[in-house]
Amino acid sequence: MKQIHKELIKLLSSAIRNNSIDNINYCDKELDGIFQEAIAHDVYQLIYPMLLKSNMSKSKDLQDTFQAWKSRTFISGLRQKRCLASSIKVIDELQKNKIDVVILKGLALRYYYPNPDMRSMGDIDLFVRKTDIDRTISILIAMGYEVDDSDSKHICLTHPEQLNVELHWELVNTENYKKDVTRINEQVWSNLEYIDFGNVKARTLNINLQTVYVCLHMANHMLSSGFGLRPVCDLVLLVEKRKSDIDWKLVRNTIIDLGIDDFVSTLLVICNKFLDLELIDVIKTEVLNKTHEENSTELLKDILESGNHGNRTVSRTESRVLLKKNKDDISLSPGNIFKYFSMLFPKAGEKYKYIRKLPFLIPIAVIYYLISDLISGNFRVANRLTYFIQTTNTSHKRSKLLKSLNLR
């Protein structure tokens, strides 16, 4: 792990607990590097209040970075207050129309942080009954929202002035998992907890399902392009604040049923080792093993490279296409070679379909394509090769990691 990542995690571990760090000292280049990494993981807001109390805040050499950090944090804080206001408005309107609604993700987890407004959220995640989907959409459209996108488990609605709403009727995309995960959707309405927003009381998942869902959500992103440090902090604070309320046996059995137990165990090693989460004895003695310890290094590396939502680099984002299309095999098989060729030369995939059946003709197709590209004046093969190599390398590394975590 790079030194800059060590420092970021050290600061983050203290910041999420509202602790101070004495005698921290960075030069401007180091502090700016930490700042950029914090931005990539969308956790800069969490760290700034602690840095402001440190001895470094008065250093003249660091004022440019401190000012940039302050400005970005201030803007984010204002945005989060606005996000909360729009969330309350949506929840209130749905409740007035007798829609059963459960809040998910950031809106439910922000209150575990010392300053909830410092835990950023990019949209409003709401869970409703499948039978209420059409009526919920009609209510949101009447509020000025428009349907933007959808998949098998949620619909996204956008608003020109308000936070986007993601409307869920399933907690997880079932097609990503080896085991049957549909049962978890049936548990949503059991023993719901309440969060008081002042004039509005909203319901959220019970603590056991909340713990499972935080892990499941990360697993879902892991199967796509990855996740960053922010959801790891969510898990640390959730477990730390509610440790005595969690039925660990029930949580453990549910995680095993979902087939994500090795992933979660490896994640807990990271939380314990790097973010100072104290684990209960039964987890340390009966759950964690040497394999989880070994896999934690590669998983943490993937998390750090991922950034928030796994979209830090184009090659990383695009690698999820290969992983999705080739769940069990990303080797250089004839079928995969055609897909790789289409990635390297995106406009040539349809023209040279014959290489799918006759892969030994790929060199001829490449030469012909390069000559055509050169004659047309659009010769960018070096960039394409670099992109191709980065994307396939990322895909191979992530495929290997997913298999070691038993997510594939």
Tell me the average pLDDT across 99-110. 95
Residues 144-195 have pLDDT tens digits of 999 987 776 789 999 998 889 999 998 876 666 666 667 788 889 989 999 9
Kind and range of the H or E run holding 86: helix 63-96
- Strand, coil or helix: 215: helix
pLDDT of residue 83: 87
- Using the Cα atoms of residue 226, residue 227, residue 229 and residue 235 in order, give the sign of their dihedral: negative
Tell me the average pLDDT across 240-251. 94
> Which of 26-30, 115-119, 335-339 is least confident?
335-339
Token look-up 């998390």 returns 303
Average pLDDT of the chain to the nearest whole number: 85
374 vs 197 pLDDT, higher one: 197
Q: Is the pLDDT of residue 392 over 60?
A: yes
Q: Is the pLDDT of residue 289 over 70?
A: yes
Tell me the average pLDDT across 354-379. 64
pLDDT of residue 153: 73
Token look-up 């319901």 returns 203
pLDDT bucket at 89, cuts 50 / 70 / 90 = very high
- Tokens matching residue 329: 């095999």
pLDDT of residue 134: 95
Furthest C-alpha separation in the chain: 70
- Tokens matching residue 129: 């009954």
Q: Is the pLDDT of residue 108 over 60?
A: yes
pLDDT bucket at 394, cuts 50 / 70 / 90 = confident
Q: What stretches of 225-348 show up as alpha helix (H) in DSSP?
A: 230-242, 248-258, 261-274, 281-286, 290-306, 314-325, 334-344
Q: Which of 33-42, 115-124, 317-326, 353-362 has the highest mean pLDDT?
A: 33-42
For CATH 3.30.460.40, the residue range(s) in the chain are 74-310
Axis crossing angle, helix 3-15 with helix 44-52, rounded to the nearest 10:
80
Residue 342, amino acid? S
201 Cβ neighbours under 8 A, 6+ residues apart: 194, 195
CATH code for residues 74-310: 3.30.460.40
CB 103 within 8 A of CB 195: yes
